[in-house]
Amino acid sequence: MNSYRYWCLESRPDGNEMEDLEAALVLKNGPLQEPADGEVLVKNHFLSMDAGTRMWMTDREDGYNPPLPLGGPMVGLVLGRVEKSNDRAFETGDLVRCFGQWADYSLVEPEMAGMVKLDDGIEDIRQYFGVLGMNGWTALWGLTETAQVKSGENVLISAAAGATGILACQIAKILGANVYGLAGGSEKCRWLEDEIGVTQAIDYKSADVAAELSKIDGGIHAYFDNVAGPILDAVLANMALYGRIALCGLMAQYTGDGRGAGPQNFDQILMKRLSVIGFFSPDFMDQGERLTAQLRKWLEGNEIMTPFDETAGLENVLVAYRKLFSGGNIGKVIVNLN
């Protein structure tokens, strides 16, 4: 029987530093099982690095995904081709995306893994992790359905140089909004203004965020939040009356048990009659075909793009994953296993 390599979750990390992750996640070898009835074996070509998976490593039972069991493989989105199939809906060679394992191969039940068969006829299949992937779906849904952004409004996006943030900036522009982005570092801010064309990018590492946001004429009508934490406090104080907050990420609170303190400016939700709505991928999984069709139209019309921060080799997964929390990336972080 052949063997394969996989990242095993041995313990629950306390933080996001490399030493914390290295203590919790160990690269192991194991026997490669044959797919049973109803299972599919996927040869992974790319792994998606997503900050939300950090919550799955905790022992929280109240999240949208139950905690991953210790001693088992780490799970995340994968893009690859069917190696062997015992499911009639999938054939050997099919290009697929699913929630699989951080490994050379993923053995999954397609329905439980959210497996979808993908169209090979695009220029860069990595876009199924980019514009045409969960990040694109999240950005489009969050802006149009959750935040209900309208033309002419002031829209603020945190983690604006990240995988979802970059796409949200571009979609907000397409919708006719005035787009403001929060990012860490002058290089990222320049990139957002020069390459994406946001109205203003604010460096949260060096600027007084609240003071900068207070200069936005009319206040912030819609906030697409990827981080929560102290930045959310600064935003709450500068929202417009009847503003909407679409909360899709808690990057500032993904350490320890993931809970963290609530916003000090919570009273502004009442004073300004704000709407704060949390959302994540299970809300719109059934709308994937519709969302992909719109995003593909923009992609093929050169109205939207995403850069990839690509790391080679399964053994370097933690190097790539760490970038999500250190601010060491612009765009979508992926691992290339080819």
Convert the pLDDT of each residue in 138-149 to its tens digit. Answer: 999 999 999 999
CATH 3.40.50.720 domain locations along the chain: 134-282
Domain 3-130+306-336: top CATH class: alpha beta
What does the pLDDT read at residue 62? Answer: 67
Average pLDDT of the chain, as a whole number: 93
- Residue appearing with tokens 């053995």: 107
Task: Give CATH for domain 134-282.
Answer: 3.40.50.720
CB 224 within 8 A of CB 168: yes
What does the pLDDT read at residue 259? Answer: 60
Tokens of 131: 């514009």
Question: Is the pLDDT assigned to residue 256 strictly greater than 70?
Answer: no
Helices 288-300 and 163-174, packing angle to 10 deg: 70
Q: Measured between alpha carbons, how far is residue 138 from residues 22, 27, 83, 93, 250 in Å?
A: 29, 30, 29, 28, 14
pTM: 0.90
Average pLDDT over residues 266-287: 92
Q: Measured between alpha carbons, how far is residue 318 from residues 60, 102, 186, 283, 334 in Å?
A: 22, 10, 25, 29, 11
269: amino acid identity, one letter: I
Question: Is the pLDDT assigned to residue 58 strictly greater than 70?
Answer: yes
Q: Give the confidence band of 39 by pLDDT, cuts at 50, 70, 90.
A: very high
CATH 3.90.180.10 domain locations along the chain: 3-130+306-336
CB 183 within 8 A of CB 159: yes
What does the pLDDT read at residue 293? Answer: 96
Nearest residue to 265 (alpha-carbon basis) of 219, 227, 214, 230: 230
